Structure formats: structure tokens, C-alpha cells
Amino acid sequence: MRIIKARDYNDMSKKAANMIAAQILLKPNSVLGLATGSTPIMTYKYLIKLFEDETISFSDVKTINLDEYIGLNKENANSYYFFMCNNFFNFINIKPENVHIPDGTAEDLEKVCSDYETMIQENNGIDLQILGIGNNGHIGFNEPDLKFEAVTHCINLDEETIKANSRFFENEEEVPKKAITMGVKTIMNARKIILLANGSGKAETIFKSLYGKIDPALPASILQLHPDVTFILDKEAAYLL
């Protein structure tokens, strides 16, 4: 496990983008696991810059997103599909067929979950997974639980997550109560993982995830067992370490 302490959010984002760029340069057909949330937004901006500079190309890259709200269609500004297009995909040369995000509007959501796992396997797994972290220690939408949920599944969002994510919606009522997320095993099967966190609000969760008991009540704690994980933290998120 590596911990990189960045000066600030900008530096954290630049360091993350550089690591992702190195992955793409060394393996142009990399499979990237991608995250949403406010944390990776600047990382995507730096990757777009590296693409515009012609340092990297996404022409052979495949992306697989962690999660999606249930019930929001692609045109909904709060869907993760919309987020990814708006913050990243619209500005790079990725092929639409190489983008994967669970469909939270499908009738048969169980099938969406099992098909997602099959798709990941058919792509030979994820080379590099980017993660943010929820205030309650969730990764993807794997909420605190009594056990680690292995594969892609549907979940009920925690009250705390609904509250935290309501800042993107008009009001709390509009936040979907359910989502589809990769499971903890799906995430742990990625060959490399980078977890990003910034801000003092994440400091305690980061400390517990790195040094606390490995416990499904704090899903990110399982990352202690991953053979190639890097936490990139700004000063504030790292202040308890």
C-alpha cells in the first residue's frame, strides 16, 4: 500500500492523472475502472489536457464505471452516465462502444448486474481502478454492511450518502434511494487501485480505512489487503496520518 500526500486538490489531481496517463502509455488498450463524485473531476480535467497535448490517446482504452443510480436515465443531469460524458468522455477520443456504465433504468436489474460482471471478465478484468471514498467509507456504492458484497449488485443507499449526495440535486427528496454498484470483490480484482480523497471531512475515514480493523462496516478498509493500492490524499485528508 502506498500513500502519496499531495499539497492540495490540484496536486492530488495532477498526480492521479499522471499515474493514469502512464498506465495508458504503457498499455494503450488498458481497461480503466472509473469513479464519479466531486473528487475525480480535476483528475479528468488533467487527463483531457494530456489528450489535447497528444501525450495520450484513448482510442483503444476501455472504461468501466463503478456505479449508477437506479431510475435516472442517461439524459438526467444527475445520472453518472451524464456526469461522465459531461466531465470526461465528450472531450476525449474514446469509442462509445468502449464505455461501460450500468443501466439503472433497465427492467431486469439483476440481469444488468450479472451481465456487468460477465462484461468485466470478457475484458480480462480491470487494469487500473480509480476510487473516491464516501464519508461513511463506501467505495463505489458499497455501503457499510455486515458483510462485504462480492459482485455487482443493487443496493439501498445509506441516509448519510443520500444527504451527502443531495448537494447535486434540487433537494434531498430527489436523490434516488437505490443504485447499482460493482461489488467489493469486483473492485479488489482490479490489478491496480488508486483511491483519491481531499478535504478534512474525509480525514477520519481515511485514517480508519488505512489503519483500522478490516470491517464491512467501513468498506474501504478492505483495500488494506490489496497488493497494489495507492492512496493519493491532499494535506487535509491526510492530516490524521
Cβ neighbours around 24 below 10 Å, total: 22
Q: Is the Cβ–Cβ distance between 117 and 152 less than 8 Å?
A: yes
Residues that bind ligand GLP (rule: CB under 6 A) add up to a total of 14
| 215 assigned to active site | no
Q: Which is nearer to ligand GLP, 8 or 52 (CB)?
A: 8
Please, what is the minimum distance in Å from the beta carbon of residue 38 to ligand GLP?
Answer: 4
Q: Which is nearer to ligand GLP, 132 or 183 (CB)?
A: 132
51 makes contact with ligand GLP (CB under 6 A): no
Q: Is the Cβ–Cβ distance between 51 and 80 less than 8 Å?
A: no
User: Which residues are within 8 A (CB) of 15 and not within 5 positions of it... i.e. 6 or more apart?
Assistant: 4, 6, 232
102 makes contact with ligand GLP (CB under 6 A): no
176 makes contact with ligand GLP (CB under 6 A): no
39 makes contact with ligand GLP (CB under 6 A): yes
CA distances, 114 to each of 27, 118, 120, 183 (Å): 27, 6, 10, 11
| 67 assigned to active site | yes
Cell 463505489: give the residue.
140
Q: Which of the following is catalytic: 68, 103, 127, 143?
A: 143
186 makes contact with ligand GLP (CB under 6 A): no
Question: Would you please indicate which residues are annotated as catalytic (active-site) residues?
Answer: 67, 136, 138, 143
